[in-house]
Amino acid sequence: MHLKTLFLWIRAQLLNYNVFIPDDTDSEPNHITQSIKYQLYATRLYVLLLVITLYILFFATLTDQQTRLNIVSNVNSALFDKLRADYDETLSCPCSTNLIPYDTFVSNTITFHPICSSYFVSREWIDFLYLSDIFKYFMMDFRATASYQFQLLAALCLFSMQTISQTKNNIASEQFFSVDLLSEQEVQAKIQTNIDLIRSGILAQVNLHFDFLQIFARSNSFITALNTNTFIVDWRQRSGITTIEDVLHIIFMKYIDLDASSSSNLVSTCDLINGIVVPSGFLSFAAENGLYDIIYRQYWPTYPPDFEPDISALVDGFFSGCTPLDGILQSTFDCLYNLTCLQVLADYFPDLSRIDLHSISLNSSSNQTHLPMSERFRNLFVEQWSTDINYSKYFTACASKSCTYTEIIQINYSYTITLFISLYGGLSILLRTLSSGSIKISIKGGCRSDRLRATSVSITMLLRRFGTWLKQLNLFKSAKNRTPTDIHYQEFSRRVYLILLASMRPLF
């Protein structure tokens, strides 16, 4: 029963709550009743606006993060890592030196394929493979091209190592641009990206030039001195042949494709084909410089049934083609990893008996053992390129003297409450005026619509009414204290309150 009574009392207080107490009590009862009704409407509007405004201000204060700029001097690596972990987004440590040479803190270790540092690219090995009578061997015979293939291999290895050495020097002369002190991960990422870009540019440039030279040589039908893509026939030395003109003839080697789909594709000359190779080995016979050899040595690898050469032994991983370069580019050098295969070479190249073949064979644990040389050369024989970055040297070279970072300050609730208290008086005046004016305007607007007429109020009359309202404004009204003396004290208190409110504004 008491709860119900309390509830009814609270409800009555809320329904009759009125912040707009009338200034005169001598008016007619009907007028007072109508005025109180409008004042209750204005009070409810005022309370609603006050609640909404306070909620907006409170929410804005909570979401408005206060920040503070901090400066730290004498920064070392450990302190920088801690600041980086805590204030990564706002941390800034300007470097005293913005351009730092790579060779100050970057080193590159490059590992080439072992064949480029092996005995197989030495002058002695190449000379041991040279035979004075190589022209009597057919193009598929390893003896015809062995010495020259290894000469090409040695030249390509030397070119690759010199190019990489120059690239390494160019990288060392690069400048690392660093406005702010960077973390170790950021430095490594930037350095590695730049080195990869330089490497890819060099490789693309070398491969482009190399491909161009191959196309240029093939399109101009350059002739090798080894009779592998052409051979010259001097008919003047054939005294027994009287029906053939006394001239020199250049004959292009003809590749016989036994798997061709049509007879038109069966034969292709070396000036038209591109990079076709066959396994290289040792043929059981050599050319005797007779008419038979002139007719049939122009065909390769076979021309059945008249020309079917017998290969007594193959050289694993080596190939023969129209030129020694075609053969060496497709070679995988498997024989150089196999002691048994090397011993077979010694049977056909007598000078190899002077060498300890076991000591010069390559280690088969090398990466990419069975890749053709063309793939290795496109990477300039580089098997591993490791970049080591000394971060402590970079940190010293950057020489950052101080760091700055922004820290978010926790919300000061006492400041928020003080701010609300200071703003309440101004908000109360503003919202009371707005609520009361809105109700009066709506009432007058209704009367005007009923009378279907419009009136205009001059600016002077509005200012005059506003001045009169301001003089009659009483923020300390009380229904019990309505004597002239009480009203005088209330007006005096109003003036003191407004003066204090205006003086407190600069503090905030």
pLDDT bucket at 148, cuts 50 / 70 / 90: very high
Contact present, 121 and 333 (Cβ < 8 Å) = no
Q: What is the pLDDT of residues 232-254, one digit of tens each?
A: 766 555 555 544 455 567 777 77
What are the tokens at 504? Answer: 């407190």
Could you tell me if residue 288 is inside a domain? yes
Residue 493: pLDDT band (50, 70, 90) is: confident
- Residue 93, in any domain of the structure: no
- 358-392: per-residue pLDDT in tens? 999 888 765 556 789 999 999 999 999 999 999 99
Please tell me the predicted confidence (pLDDT) of residue 453: 44
Q: What is the mean pLDDT of residues 13-19?
A: 71
**Within this chain, do residues 331 and 370 fall inside the same structural domain, yes or no?**
yes
Q: Determine contact, residues 118/362, Cβ cutoff 8 Å.
A: yes
Number of structural domains found in the chain: 2
Same domain, 327 and 429: no
Element (H, E) at 321: strand 311-321
Task: Please indicate, yes or no, if residue 420 is contained in any of the structural domains.
Answer: yes
- pLDDT score recorded for residue 507: 44
| Structure tokens that stand for 193 in this block | 């990206």
Classify 70 as helix, strand or coil. strand
- Give the pair of three-digit tokens for residue 55: 């909620």
pLDDT band at 345 (very low <50, low <70, confident <90, very high): very high
Q: How far apart are CA 368 and CA 366, in angstroms?
A: 7
Amino acid at 3: L
Give the model's confidence band at 467: pLDDT under 50 very low, under 70 low, under 90 confident, else very high: low
Whole-number Å distance between alpha carbons of 108 and 389: 9
Single out the residue of 286, 350, 278 nearest to residue 314, CA to CA.
Answer: 278
pLDDT of residue 462: 59
Claim to verify: residue 369 and residue 432 sit in the same structural domain: no
Domain match, 158 and 244 both = yes
Same domain? For 480 and 336 the reply is no
DSSP letter string, 369-435: TT--HHHHHHTTTEEEEEEEE-HHHHHHHH---EEEEEEEEPP-HHHHHHHHHHHHHHHHHHHHHHH
Q: How many CB atoms lie within 10 A of CB 167?
A: 21
Q: Indicate if the pLDDT at residue 34 is higher than 90.
A: no
Residues 30 and 115 grouped into a single domain = no
pLDDT over 70, % of the chain: 72
Q: Using the Cα atoms of residue 263, residue 269, residue 273 and residue 278 in order, give the sign of their dihedral.
A: positive
pLDDT averaged over every residue in the chain: 79
Q: Per residue in 213-226, pLDDT tens? A: 888 887 787 878 78
Task: Enter the tokens of residue 487.
Answer: 């009203």
pLDDT score, position 342:
94
Does 131 fall in a domain? yes
Predicted confidence band of residue 454 (pLDDT cuts 50, 70, 90): very low
Q: For the residues 259-288, what does the mean pLDDT come to?
A: 72
- Residue 130, in any domain of the structure: yes
Band (pLDDT 50/70/90 cuts) for residue 508 is: very low
Q: How far apart, in Å, are the Cα atoms of 425 and each of 49, 84, 432?
A: 14, 46, 11
Q: Are 173 and 390 in contact (CB under 8 A)?
A: no
Q: Is the pLDDT of residue 9 over 70?
A: yes
CA atoms within 13 A on the CB side of 222: 12
Selected residue with higher pLDDT from 74 and 287: 74
Does residue 349 sit in the same domain as residue 455? no
CB-based contacts of 327, cutoff 8 Å, min separation 6: 145, 149, 277, 280, 318, 319, 320, 321
Task: Read off the pLDDT band of 341 (50, 70, 90).
Answer: very high
pLDDT for res 441: 74
Using 50, 70 and 90 to split pLDDT, how confident is the model at 427? confident
Confidence of residue 273 (pLDDT cuts 50, 70, 90): confident
pLDDT at 504 over 60: no
84 falls within a domain: no
Residue 114: C-alpha distances to residues 157, 378, 381 (Å): 10, 16, 9
Q: Are 393 and 464 part of one and the same domain?
A: no
161 and 257 housed in the same domain = yes
Of 374, 398, 422, the one marking the end of a domain is: 398
Which amino acid is residue 431, in one-letter code?
L
Tell me if 261 sits within 8 A of 300, measured CB to CB.
Answer: no
Look up the domain containing 207 and give its range. Answer: 100-398
Provide the residue type at 487 as one letter. Answer: I
Q: Look up the pTM and report it.
A: 0.67
User: 228: Cβ–Cβ under 8 A, 6 or more apart, which residues?
Assistant: 139, 144, 145, 253, 270, 320, 321, 322, 323, 324
| pLDDT for 389 | 95
Token pair 């070396």 is found at 270
157, 381 Cβ separation under 8 angstroms: yes
> Average pLDDT in the 69-82 region?
91
Domain C-terminal end among 366, 398, 430 = 398
Q: Are residues 421 and 389 in the same domain?
A: no
Which residues, 6 or more positions from 64, have their beta carbon under 8 angstroms from its beta carbon?
Answer: none
Q: Which two tokens stand for residue 233?
A: 């026939």
Instruction: Judge whether 433 lies within some domain.
Output: yes
Residue-wise pLDDT tens digits, 84-103: 998 888 899 999 999 999 99
Q: Which residues are CB-neighbours of 203 under 8 A, at least 6 positions away?
A: 378, 379, 380
Question: Is 435 in contact with 43 (CB distance < 8 Å)?
Answer: yes
The answer to whether residue 364 sits within a structural domain is yes
* Same domain for 180 and 290: yes
Weakest-pLDDT range from 7-11, 210-214, 499-503: 499-503
259 with 393, same domain: the answer is yes
Look at residue 256 in the predicted model and tell me its pLDDT. Answer: 78
pLDDT of residue 21: 66
Consecutive H or E run containing 320: strand 311-321
160, 203, 142: which is closest to 333 by C-alpha?
A: 142
- Full 3-state SS string of 379-396: CCCEEEEEEEECHHHHHH
More confident residue, 51 or 389: 389
Give backbone dihedrals phi and psi of 340, rounded to 5 degrees, phi first. -60, -45
